[in-house]
Amino acid sequence: MELAQDLVQRIRGVIGAEAGFVPLHVPEFHGRERELLIDCIDTGWVSSVGSYVDAFEAEVARLSGCTHGVVVANGTAALQIAMLVAGVAPGDEVLMPALTFVATANATSHLGAVPHFVDSAYDTMGVCPTRLRAHLEQVAEVREGATWNRQTGRRIAAIVPMHVFGCPVDMDGLDAVVADWPMVVVEDAAESLGSTYHGRPCGSLGRIAAISFNGNKIVTTGGGGAIVTNDEALAKRAKHLTTTAKQPHPWAFIHDEVGYNYRMPNLNAALGVAQLEQLGDRLAQKQRLFDAYAAAFDGLSGAQLFTAPEGSVSNNWLVTLILDPDMAAQRDTLLKVLNDAGIMTRPIWTLMHRLPMYQDAPRADLTQAADLEARVLNIPSSAHLGAAL
Ligand SMILES: *Cc1c(COP(=O)(O)O)cnc(C)c1O
């Protein structure tokens, strides 16, 4: 197949002819990881409290343009607690793109709330403000300062913009919709540490945000997540809830509500501190890789490199190709040829409403999301590929 062979050659021109399988995105440890992990072991501070937890919280917050950070066991837990402290209650609906990783919907379900799926935009791959407004005009009403779904009778408490593969959502467009349809904005910034929207870091664009440090993300703690916000009260409540809701006391075990043990161990936080020291270098390497792909795909026909819109800077977490509409039918053949050639290539996620547990969830018309679902591919994006260029 012509496009497939063309892509294999152009991608190999960037990542080299290195034998064996080139993964999509590997964790990389080029800093003080070993030193800080050994320090945890030598001092005995390996578990749920320690100086690396505090240092990591401060640094994640700073890099996200926020005053407060609370690190937790994973990004899914971060999303759940971010929504909880932002006011999402059991029985509420939470708007989110159908085109997201399943964690966004699962975290909502874990709260006893209901995911409500909306359409995506071609320019960002994230929530489409125009389509969102049209959908709300169809199904919702504002009563007593809140937005309600007229069809289900439930309150629409929040919207979760997710910055797909690091590309920021059109937040000006979204804020304009939310100005007319009151609800809290909880960012799913799991993939977008280091991305900026009109100079403002992802993670600081809503009321509160969740970040992931899973092994496949731009920096990793093995497993981990963070809640970041500029709202001190929300941060304090998130810290309290995620650490078993224990009142500070020299010896007594007084827990004042049903809390969660979502703490990030000091070992993982130590890894995170060392990783964040390399974030600047990593972003530069990933930009170099992106630029090399952009040059290599010059004149390509049949697919286009996805580029963040003017005013947005992506962290380039995963490099994305969008097939031309007439190539969509060949997606699976392309996936096979590229993977067989040792170039790990992945489709985007299956839309949430196609998964059995979310098939009956409320949803908007998802035409654009379905179109993107059929045409988006990710290709090898590890930072070290850019370091070699
Ligand atoms: C990775 C990811 C998460 C969840 O993070 P975990 O740390 O794996 O729980 C949530 N949302 C999106 C969009 C993600 O990519």
Tens digit of each residue's pLDDT (9 = 90 or more) over 197-239 = 999 999 999 999 999 999 999 999 999 999 999 999 999 999 9
CATH number, domain 33-276:
3.40.640.10
Nearest-atom index, ligand 1, CA of 76: 9
% of the chain at pLDDT higher than 70: 99
Which residue, judged by its Cα, is nearest atom 14 of ligand 1?
190
Question: Which of 12-16, 100-104, 135-139, 192-196 is the least confident region?
Answer: 12-16
pLDDT tens digits for range 105-123: 999 999 999 999 999 999 9
% of the chain at pLDDT higher than 90: 97
Q: Is 217 a catalytic residue?
A: yes
Q: Say yes or no: CB of residue 188 within 6 Å of ligand 1.
A: yes
> What is the CATH superfamily name and number for domain 2-26+279-386?
Aspartate Aminotransferase, domain 1 (3.90.1150.10)
pLDDT score at 388:
81
Nearest-atom index, ligand 1, CA of 78: 9
Pocket probe for ligand 1: among 83, 94, 101, the residue whose CB has the most ligand atoms within 8 Å is 101
**pLDDT (mean) for 238-250:** 97
Å from CA of 313 to ligand 1 middle = 20
Q: pTM above the 0.95 mark?
A: yes
pLDDT score at 359:
98
CATH code 3.40.640.10 region(s) in the chain: 33-276
Q: How far apart are the first and last CA of the chain?
A: 29
Q: How confident is the model at residue 17 (pLDDT cuts 50, 70, 90)?
A: confident
Question: In sequence order, what DSSP letters do the residues of 36-96 get, joined into one string?
Answer: HHHHHHHHT--SS--HHHHHHHHHHHHHTT-SEEEEES-HHHHHHHHHHHTT--TT-EEEE
Å from CA of 256 to ligand 1 middle = 29
**pLDDT (mean) for 89-95:** 98
pLDDT score at 1:
55
Among 217, 236, 286, 336, the active-site one is 217
Looking up tokens 């609800």 gives 183
**pLDDT (mean) for 18-38:** 93
Which residue, judged by its Cα, is nearest atom 6 of ligand 1?
75
Partnered with residue 208 across adjacent β-strands are 186, 229
Q: What is the CA radius of gyration of the chain?
A: 21
Q: Say yes or no: CB of residue 162 within 6 Å of ligand 1.
A: yes
Mean pLDDT across the chain:
97
